[in-house]
Structure 1
Amino acid sequence: MSDQDLQTIGDAQQRDRALARWANEGGSGQCGRETDLASDRIEVEMPAIGDTQIGLLHIRVIALENLVIALLATASGPQLALARDMARIIEPRSDAAPHPLTIRAAARLTDLIERSERFQSGERPQAKDGE
């Protein structure tokens, strides 16, 4: 087995572990949920977010979405398949009550993938207001 094959297996295992952590722990890392549970869930008060901060956050999300589209436009077939798998992973499980935000997140990810495919074919979509 070549070094590249070993690296690919290692990458796949790391990805599987990361996805399992998101599914089982809501994405918390080594200092996330475990720390909260051990400390009887100490709540941290978050400051209120004003209109200015929400506006700046909105701008950042638009920029990140467009960056993701650009990166997906140059992705290989297996990478696009992996992105589609991720959209299916974040959809509600069959044994769970569907949550509107989860459903919308999965649909949004699928939309980003589809928009990137239009760039792959050479089509230049028109910009929409607010995107």
Structure 2
Amino acid sequence: MPDQDQSQTTAELRLRALSRWDDEGGAIATPQPLHADVAPFTHAEIVQLRIRAIAVENLLIAVLAEGTDRQRQVARDMAAYIAPRSGFTHHPLTIDAGQHMTSLIERAEHYRTIAS
């Protein structure tokens, strides 16, 4: 990629990616439920999702533990950035998501110190 095309800084690219967060994943109201013909999750499917979430969290902790201080700081910055859209009130799940991200980073730092 030519140097002139690299005019956007890392911070600008990160801000662009984060600004899309509010508009994706169902933030837009729809007149009818999405995928109304899809059956609700079964208990077994919910258990499998929980298992997968635990596995992904632990993989993320391992990756962050092996990453650089700068990478962990970027993850902390992103956790601090999570906020409700302008004009909306804080939602407990949004606040919990940021706190959970910070917890994962702290667990990675702990793992890093005991694995060294």
TM tier relative to shorter chain = 0.7 to 0.9
1:15 to partner: Cα distance: 2.5
For 1:99, give the aligned amino acid.
H
Same amino acid, percent of matched pairs: 41
The one-letter amino acid of 1:72's match is L
Q: Which moved more, 1:77-86 or 1:97-106?
A: 97-106
- The one-character-per-residue Cα deviations of 1:10-49 (angstroms, maximum 9, x if unpaired) are 65443321111113x1x35xxx77xx77xx6443313211
| CA deviation after TM superposition for structure 1 residue 94, in Å | 8.6
- Tell me which of 49, 67, 78 is aligned to 2:70: 78
2:101 paired with 1:101: no
Aligned to 2:55: 63
Residues 85-111 of structure 1: CA deviation (Å, up to 9, x unaligned): 111112457964222211211111111
- CA offset digits 1:35-67 (Å, max 9, x no partner): x77xx6443313211100000000000000000
Cα shift readout 1:58-78 (whole Å, capped 9, x = no counterpart) = 000000000000011012122
**Counterpart residue number, 1:52:** 44
Q: What 5-or-longer segments of structure 2 have no aligned partner?
A: none
Root-mean-square deviation (CA), in Å?
A: 3.0
Normalising by structure 2, we get a TM-score of 0.76
Cα distance between partner residues in 2 of 1:94 and 1:42: 25
List structure 1 runs of 4+ shifted beyond 3 angstroms: 6-14, 91-96
State the TM-score, normalizing by the size of structure 1: 0.68
Matching residue within 100, 103, 108 for 1:111: 103
